[in-house]
Chains A and B, each alone.
Chain A
């Protein structure tokens, strides 16, 4: 007989709980959603989250143990690519800044994928300079009334909820008058219009907010503290985009390496040289990401994380560019320009031309590579910032 481990579970304790989950909910005969809910309730969704919120307060690095055991047992997945914004950005922000009610309301359906999330941050006039945003939120009794326009909103067409930042005090300097909300995408004041991308499809949208009512109970963090709350989201976004754990040749390099091995007739000395350089860069960047994860697991997060997304964007762009060139005549063909509204970014299910075009967004979304270099040079290397005139003036007085 095994005894139920007390306190924060270790690896053995987690295996024990996985076995208990599997015996109570046989994946072969349990409905997918019912299984995912049971997994969440057993604390095996994200083991480093607190008890009662899908976790057990265990070490983050132990998640792999759970995932591997469940995968081996044929358990259903929560399809993380479909709900990346929820998992990678909304969840850590709700966990850090949410009230108990908010955590209890939002995290479970977020994790099971029942409710998809999107991110209403960027605006036509506020991209890299996100803090200059102009969408207004005005207090009205227990509600806030929100009006403005957001843009480049990925997956807004599938989303039930949005994380939203809006200006609540135009008289303060721009970083200080912002508040962070959870916005109900089914509110009648929310209008989502597709924006077609260079790939042909419309992954992102423009979102018009007209008198949208958000209960004050859906505010995350204090009034006026939205910029600080948003930093949590953005930091997590960058790690989510650049920091995924992958095996050797697991990223785009694997696709082009496979083509190289299968089609010797395409090889040239120049392409060979470039392929090997990119293979080395991919492996080094994989190791760098691995090192960042080991630092996190050891409780000593290093600044390396902010660089991962830079490397990821450059590599994806160079590798997909090489792949199209390597393919020669096949590189002249493109799968499908039809305007569709996909649920996920599928880098590997489509052809090289798609990868080449979609990878262009990797150095723009989640903070452009130029902005990331600013962040590394100032926050990691401690170099002085450029002279600025926009920091202390009231937002309403800034030139636009």
Chain B
């Protein structure tokens, strides 16, 4: 293990014009349809997800099928564009199932475009929404889950807890193990034998759900040869792109805090003129700027299928997860009392950031993965 890690090709860390256009389209729609007041009003209602907004985003901008090839009705875009969308969705803590459906489930299905073609088409058009039925904390390197079994008659039974975006899904993509080995199966969320319990979630804008399957009719999408790889690829893409959502959260928290501290006066001057706060915000700014480089690097590596993708994703998660939490914590603290209220949206970002820190591998798990990947064993 005396080899230093290999040198990656130089990534493109900037945004293309197409990506900038996509960003402004998403941002414009979110500003109109998803202001913090609207999110706050929705989260305690019976419909925490804004499926109208989701359908509009799918129909007008095509984000539901961003990663789906054009011949299957999608946009044929790459992880770079999906990352830009996630920055914006994170910046608005938008309650839409993009990560679960358009990133995690879609990436898993892309491993078997033939069998999964019809479903991918429905997802791309926004006609159906899917969720990948794994616990949200599952890290890219985790073992194939064995909690759902395939019976001899092809039905699925078992339990999967903590699944993101499942309560908004019509279709569940379920990793299950049968007599032939692991597979990814499609089931309808409303099929007989499926029960979806929605516990109270820390993150109000991306609630989790606990799934119980009892002899549910299923269709095999990805067979034993490639199911484990497909799941790993989906989790890697999810973790890498989550970094861009975390960047969006952090940038919102930084911008909002800077704005507030420039306005808020105490001791006869803007509190933003006190040096101890300025220095904290300068440090936070540097973290956010670095998060942007790390998140872009992960998106670019995923988009180009780079052999460096696993390292790039682990680096991005280890950094961006922490940055988002730090930014949200600073945002609450530096707003003082108002930051502690339900009325102010800061808590929505804090809850999302903290849940995202656990999602798809904690920073510590990603560092442990890096220890293997770059040859720095314990």
Q: A106 CA to B5 CA in the complex, in Å? A: 42
- Picked from B4, B8, B12, B279, the residue with its CB within 8 Å of the CB of A258 is B4
CB distance B286 to A310 under 8 Å? yes
For residue A312, give the distance in angstroms from its CB to the closest CB of chain B.
11
Q: A16 CA to B318 CA in the complex, in Å? A: 45
Q: A361 CA to B48 CA in the complex, in Å? A: 53
CB distance B376 to A381 under 8 Å? no
CB distance A294 to B371 under 8 Å? no
Smallest CB gap from A380: residue in B: B285
Q: A298 CA to B277 CA in the complex, in Å? A: 33
Interface 9-mer from B35-43, B128-136, B268-276, B338-346: B268-276
Q: In A366-392, which residues have CB < 8 Å from any B CB? A: 370, 372-374, 376-378, 380-387
Q: A385 CA to B3 CA in the complex, in Å? A: 49
Q: A264 CA to B375 CA in the complex, in Å? A: 12
Q: A307 CA to B284 CA in the complex, in Å? A: 11
Q: A53 CA to B185 CA in the complex, in Å? A: 67
- Chain B residues contacting A386 (CB-CB under 8 Å) are 273-275
CB distance A311 to B286 under 8 Å? yes
In the complex, whether B319 has a CB less than 8 A from a CB of chain A is yes
CB distance A376 to B285 under 8 Å? yes
Smallest CB gap from B278: residue in A: A377
Q: A248 CA to B367 CA in the complex, in Å? A: 16
Smallest CB gap from A375: residue in B: B282
Interface size class of B (residues with CB under 8 A): 35 or more
- Chain A residues contacting B318 (CB-CB under 8 Å) are 276-277, 280
Q: A283 CA to B7 CA in the complex, in Å? A: 12
How many residues in A have their beta carbons less than 8 Å from beta carbons of B? 49
CB distance A261 to B290 under 8 Å? no
In the complex, whether A287 has a CB less than 8 A from a CB of chain B is yes
Check A261/B286 contact, CB under 8 A, given A288-B293, A290-B13, A378-B278: no
- Chain A residues contacting B286 (CB-CB under 8 Å) are 307, 310-311, 376
Q: Does more than half of chain A's interface fall in helix, strand or loop, or is it mixed?
A: helix
Interface 9-mer from A163-171, A213-221, A267-275: A267-275
CB distance A285 to B290 under 8 Å? yes
Interface string of A152-179 (1 = CB under 8 A from B): 0000000000000000000000000000
Smallest CB gap from B294: residue in A: A284
In the complex, whether B60 has a CB less than 8 A from a CB of chain A is no
Q: In B1-53, which residues have CB < 8 Å from any A CB? A: 1-5, 7-8, 10-14
Check A279/B370 contact, CB under 8 A, given A272-B378, A383-B281: yes
In the complex, whether B283 has a CB less than 8 A from a CB of chain A is yes
Q: A277 CA to B319 CA in the complex, in Å? A: 9
In the complex, whether A234 has a CB less than 8 A from a CB of chain B is no
Check A249/B4 contact, CB under 8 A, given A280-B370, A384-B270: yes
CB distance B376 to A376 under 8 Å? no
In the complex, whether B246 has a CB less than 8 A from a CB of chain A is no
For residue B110, give the distance in angstroms from its CB to the closest CB of chain A.
27
Q: In B331-378, which residues have CB < 8 Å from any A CB? A: 367-368, 370-371, 374-378
CB distance B374 to A279 under 8 Å? yes
In the complex, whether B206 has a CB less than 8 A from a CB of chain A is no
CB distance A277 to B2 under 8 Å? no
CB distance A387 to B269 under 8 Å? yes
- Chain B residues contacting A376 (CB-CB under 8 Å) are 282, 285-286
CB distance A276 to B370 under 8 Å? yes
CB distance A381 to B293 under 8 Å? no
Q: In B291-309, which residues have CB < 8 Å from any A CB? A: 291-294, 296-297
Q: A264 CA to B2 CA in the complex, in Å? A: 11
- Picked from A272, A291, A377, the residue with its CB within 8 Å of the CB of B14 is A291
CB distance A304 to B289 under 8 Å? yes
Interface string of A298-339 (1 = CB under 8 A from B): 100000100100110000000000000000000000000000
- Chain A residues contacting B272 (CB-CB under 8 Å) are 383-384
Q: A380 CA to B11 CA in the complex, in Å? A: 26
Q: Specify which of B11, B270, B289 lies most central, judged by the most chain A CB atoms within 10 Å of its CB.
A: B289
Q: A137 CA to B4 CA in the complex, in Å? A: 54
Q: In B62-121, which residues have CB < 8 Å from any A CB? A: none
Q: A309 CA to B323 CA in the complex, in Å? A: 19
For residue B355, give the distance in angstroms from its CB to the closest CB of chain A.
21
Smallest CB gap from A310: residue in B: B286
Q: A272 CA to B372 CA in the complex, in Å? A: 12
Q: A277 CA to B370 CA in the complex, in Å? A: 10
In the complex, whether B261 has a CB less than 8 A from a CB of chain A is yes
In the complex, whether B258 has a CB less than 8 A from a CB of chain A is yes
In the complex, whether B315 has a CB less than 8 A from a CB of chain A is yes
- Chain B residues contacting A290 (CB-CB under 8 Å) are 10-11, 13, 293
Smallest CB gap from A280: residue in B: B318
Q: A285 CA to B287 CA in the complex, in Å? A: 9
- Chain B residues contacting A288 (CB-CB under 8 Å) are 289-290, 292-294
CB distance B10 to A384 under 8 Å? no
Q: A269 CA to B374 CA in the complex, in Å? A: 17
Q: Specify which of B286, B367, B368 lies most central, judged by the most chain A CB atoms within 10 Å of its CB.
A: B286
Check A267/B4 contact, CB under 8 A, given A287-B297, A307-B286, A384-B262: no
Check A284/B258 contact, CB under 8 A, given A374-B275, A381-B281: no
Q: A290 CA to B315 CA in the complex, in Å? A: 15
In the complex, whether A257 has a CB less than 8 A from a CB of chain B is yes
Between A and B, 16 residue pairs with Cβ closer than 8 Å are A257-B4, A258-B4, A261-B1, A276-B367, A276-B370, A284-B293, A290-B293, A295-B14, A307-B282, A307-B285, A372-B282, A373-B278, A373-B279, A380-B285, A381-B258, A381-B281
* B interface list, Cβ under 8 A from A: 1-5, 7-8, 10-14, 258, 261-262, 269-270, 272-275, 277-279, 281-283, 285-286, 289-294, 296-297, 315, 318-319, 367-368, 370-371, 374-378
Would you list the 5 A-B pairs with minimal beta carbon distance, nearest first? Answer: A377-B278, A373-B282, A287-B293, A376-B282, A384-B273
Beyond the given A248-B8, A257-B374, A291-B14, please list 17 additional residue pairs across the A-B interface where CB-CB is below 8 A. Answer: A254-B4, A272-B371, A273-B367, A280-B318, A285-B290, A287-B293, A288-B290, A290-B13, A291-B13, A304-B289, A307-B289, A310-B282, A311-B290, A374-B275, A376-B286, A381-B282, A383-B278
